[in-house]
Amino acid sequence: MLEFKYLQYRKRKLLNLRKFTVFIFTAIAMLFTQVYAATTAEVKQLIIKQSKEMGVEPAIMLSLAKTESGFRQDVKGASGNIGVFQLFPATAKRMGYNAYNLDENIKAGITYYKNMYKTFGSTELAVAAYNSGPDAVKRYKAVPPSSKTFVNRIMTDYKYFQKNM
């Protein structure tokens, strides 16, 4: 009988040791796999750097990122758009980028804006196309009514960033 109780005691100890070991390994794994969230200042610096490298004025890209996501990569829109520049993953993929990656989301946002600017030739129409899509801008041959508030907000921030960079 004494031997049986001793075996039960050892089993409990072993079980507790296993639970503790699993807990420790889980905690360590969580620490090492935590996703690093870039600060607003880091995101702004990445946007400025990438914009300059890609030949786009940083102030317009800062204003787009501020309005689209508040400079946050973790923002997800109701329509499925994601990241700093609120891109659809398929749109980013079409341009050769991964919208889920911060650096690539920024490059994709700049590339998309640059394409819209080349297509429409003005900052306001490029911003409208960024927001409503190029077909809406082509249809109206101007800023679509649904994008006027967005374009006004971007242009206000754009002027601010031009003066304060």
CA distance 148 to 135: 16
Annotation marks residue 3 as catalytic: no
Q: Report pLDDT digits (tens) over 112-132.
A: 999 999 999 999 999 999 999
Write down the pLDDT at residue 72.
96
Task: Please indicate, yes or no, whether the overall pTM of this predicted structure exceeds 0.95.
Answer: no
Query: 53, 57, 68, 104: which one is catalytic?
Result: 68
Instruction: Determine the residue type at 137.
Output: V
Q: Report pLDDT digits (tens) over 17-73.
A: 566 665 555 556 555 544 457 899 999 999 999 999 999 999 999 999 999 999 999
Write down the pLDDT at residue 128.
98
Sorted by sequence, the CB contacts under 8 Å of residue 157 that are 6+ apart come out as: 62, 63, 66, 67
pLDDT band at 81 (very low <50, low <70, confident <90, very high): very high
